[in-house]
A and B are shown apart, each in its own frame.
Chain A
Amino acid sequence: MLGFAQLFASRLVKAAAILIAIVVMNFFLVHAAPGDPAMVMAGEAGAADEKFVAQLRQQFGLDRPIYEQLGTYVGKVVQGDLGYSYRQQRPVWDILAERLPATLVLTLTAFVLALAAGVALGTLAAVAVGTWADSAITVIALLAYATPIYWIGLMLSLLFSIQLGWLPAFGYETVGAGYTGLAHAADVAAHLVLPVITLALFYMAGYARLTRASMLEVRSLDFVKTAKAKGLPQRRIVTRHVLRNAILPVITVAGIQAGQLVGGSILIETVFAWPGIGRLAFEAVLQRDYQVLLGIFLVTSVMVILFNILTDILYGLVDPRIQVSQ
């Protein structure tokens, strides 16, 4: 167990180093993009004369040399200060904190659903390989994988909210209803159904295909033969021997995708008008709101790193061989 703590600690130290590098790179990335925030701001204020623009630049420190701006930025980030959005006249951290829960609820629910359904379907297909059930699952998975995610979203809302009227088509909650407690939770859950299904379908297809392929590969390995030779029933062979080994590559892929879910929900949040980080990013790009954009980059990077560490730990728990390399 000491080895485990050590592994965790060393991963955290590495993560911190990676994070600093990401902060610096993000900074340069944003500054490499065309467009001058001072010009945009001045343009929107309606007074675009040279003097005003210069004044804006000076006010926001944009006239300083780039490395000085970088130093200031990194210094602030290390202290936990993500800066101030002059567009929205609020600290970036507050804006993110307001949007983050919505995104996390959406993506994590979708992720868990996709993983559970994907592994279950993949297992089912692998066990019944060559039968109609296998073909049906493979075709559904292929369709879900190939269809553009926004199109599925639009079609689902067309069917379930517009035609049938069962579910709300967009938003996070019923505006102005003033629900509290359980009623509020139920309201959010109803809004959650369509975006979650849309997002989950796509990932589920991937996991189902991966699980199926991995199961079929593991099924032909020697130790499965050993398990059969022991006289174990089919059920036990599948769950204890095949699935446990087949799940390893799924965990690897799921770990990578879990990190990207937060940043990758832009499309789905736009289609369903979901007030999350994804839409915030979209708006920030349009408005050249560098501070917010940098903040979003940072948050999504932290998510990726966090999920990677989680995946490693999970992997270490599932696969005893990993601990050797400590």
Chain B
Amino acid sequence: MNRTDPLRTPMEAAAMTTPLPDVPLLDVRGLSIALPPGADRPLAVDNLSFTLNPDEILCVVGESGSGKSMTAHAMMGLLPAPHVRVAGGSLRFKGKDVLTMPEAEQRSLRGGRIAMVFQEPMTALNPLMRVGRQIAESLREHTDLPAPARRARVVELLGQVGLPNPAELADAYPFRLSGGQRQRVMIAMALACQPDILIADEPTTALDVTTQKQILDLIRSIQAERHMGMMFITHDFGVVAEIAHRVAVMRHGKLVEYGPAAEVLNRPQHPYTRQLIASVPHYIEHRDDHAKQGAPLLVADKVRKVFHVGGGLFRKSKQVVAGDDLTLTIHPGETVGLVGESGSGKSTLGRSIVGLIKPDSGRILFEGTDLLALDRQGFRPYRRAVQMVFQDPYASLNPRHRVGDIVAQGPVAFGEDRTKALARARELLAMVGLDGSAADRFPHEFSGGQRQRIGIARALAMEPKLLVADEPVSALDVSVQGQVLELLDDIRRRLNLAMLFITHDLRVAAQVCDTIAVMRRGRIVEMGTAREVFTHPRDDYTRSLLDAIPGKGWRIPDDLQPVRAGAH
């Protein structure tokens, strides 16, 4: 196989590209996409122009709602008609406008010449159809291959995207595969008919960091091998630094900056681009070592939890060890980061400490009292002392309660006077940066970042000593993420709170944690100060995690360092 060196940097590759052809592979001119009346703005995409050439990766960067996915959907004819429609402009594929083509011709482009990989590998495959058949469907539509040849091609494709036992895997149903494997299947499906253009819409956002690295490597090598033009949609500048040849930055449907990757990454011009790059968490930074004072606030001692999955009258259940021999301490004022991939058991430990899960064995000592030995009544006072901030700011607030009540509910349940609690709730809402009217409104009136602030205010209302934050920023856009992290850090310092910060993102952990515990398959494989763990990782797994962080080779431009959110 004639493989281009996947390790060459994209910026070098861009310099090597052959002179541009006369007609670009894809030429988007003045594209406007109209939203239905009543939406927050009339145009989802406003007068957008860019080109894409063969053998090139164009990264389209922007936060949610910037119109980047809409552009891709317009190209694939996937806009939710009739509400959202193209209002103007053209999308020329090899000189021919896709938008004015008859439907049949468009369909032969879709999946044939232009293919797409989606963000959510868990839901992008039909759950009731074998993956091989889903790939074969594309071949059936766009080629004349007879069934046995299609089957052979499917197996070949699955092998090319690096899946083990491709012949067997072709007969598997999607639910048998992991997220990374499903994304590989999606890529195989997109490659089935050797497309000229591959559109990837946040293809690695839903994946763990090590899987993300594998998929990025795969996408990059396949793109180079086949000289495809690729439109890669992402919100992560680390990923951009990893793969982009050219970058287009979008905001509110408009293109704000467009240029070669080296230019945009190292010398960003537009204020918005500069702000986005400044809020990228970067693992190079870590805090100074935390001076541990006094007795530990919380000690988890050899905590073990096994889940029993399935099982019934006639079946044996399957055992899943979510936590084994978990030992860690948190001192007052210290932020301990619990880092690991999905399924590593980090949430299980967090939930055990808050008392949402009862571990099978071990001790959880809070100021010397074993919480696990307490009965319901005895545990109650400690519920105040340990509070939790949840991951999903959309699902963790009761949609039918007013924000003020949500915040005041906890103290009221502990016997505080309602008017007093409500007054305190207003103070707290002001403290997390929301205005006074917030207390009288309902959660749906707030954005994701604001809701997470409400969640934090709710936890603080109980005057806790320890805050357990379970992925508090992973559902948020990068600039909002920076603001929420800053808020947490500010509050932690003002109230001298201890915090257990659970995250899958090492860059975020580097930014906010004093101490890092790395978890894998229910065990803590390494624990130490952030400085130790990031500069001298001892465990191989920690090293592989650090190694997988996208955009390591790229340094945030010096002039943006001082404006960084949360820097001190």
Interface residues, chain A, with chain B CB atoms under 8 Å away: 6, 10, 13-14, 221-223, 225-233, 236, 240-241, 244-245, 318-321, 324-326
Contact = CB atoms under 8 A, between A and B. Distances in A.
Contact of A226 (B108, B118, B141): B118
Interface residues of B, number: 33
Contacts of B126: 223, 226-227, 240-241, 244-245
B566 to A, nearest CB: 34
Contacts of A324: 175, 310
Contacts of B134: 226
A325 B78 CA distance: 35
Given A230-B138, A320-B175, A14 B313 contact: yes
Interface in B29-57: none
A128 to B, nearest CB: 13
A318 B127 CA distance: 11
B110 interface: yes
Contacts of A233: 107, 141
A241 B126 CA distance: 7
10 contacts: A223-B124, A223-B127, A225-B78, A225-B124, A228-B78, A229-B118, A230-B138, A232-B141, A240-B126, A241-B126
A222 B128 contact: no
A320 B123 contact: no
B111 A231 contact: yes
Contact of B315 (A245, A318, A326): A326
B189 interface: yes
A320 B128 contact: yes
Contacts of B189: 226, 230
B320 to A, nearest CB: 14
B175 A231 contact: no
Interface in B103-136: 107-112, 115-116, 118, 120, 123-129, 134
B137 to A, nearest CB: 6
Given A230-B110, A230-B138, A230-B189, A225 B128 contact: no
B112 A231 contact: yes
A232 B76 CA distance: 12
Given A226-B118, A226-B186, A321-B175, A231 B124 contact: no
B173 interface: yes
Contacts of A230: 110-111, 137-138, 141, 189
B128 A231 contact: no
Contact of B118 (A222, A240, A320): A222
A223 B116 CA distance: 12
Interface of B: 76-78, 107-112, 115-116, 118, 120, 123-129, 134, 137-138, 141-142, 173, 175, 186, 189, 310, 313-315
Q: Which 3 pairs from chain A and chain B are nearest by CB?
A: A231-B111, A231-B110, A230-B111
A235 to B, nearest CB: 12
Given A240-B129, A244-B128, A318-B128, A231 B123 contact: no
A217 to B, nearest CB: 13
A324 B77 CA distance: 36
A309 to B, nearest CB: 14
A321 B174 CA distance: 9
Contacts of A232: 107, 111, 137, 141
B110 A321 contact: no
Given A10-B315, A222-B120, A227-B137, 15 more contacts: A222-B118, A223-B124, A226-B125, A226-B186, A227-B126, A229-B118, A230-B141, A231-B107, A232-B111, A233-B107, A236-B137, A240-B129, A320-B175, A321-B127, A326-B315
Nearest to B142: A231
A243 to B, nearest CB: 10
A226 B128 contact: no
Contacts of A318: 128
Nearest to A13: B314
Contacts of A228: 76-78, 110
Nearest to B186: A226
B189 to A, nearest CB: 7
A129 to B, nearest CB: 11
B352 to A, nearest CB: 26
B123 A10 contact: no
Contacts of B137: 227, 230, 232, 236, 240
Nearest to A242: B126
B192 to A, nearest CB: 8
B141 A221 contact: no
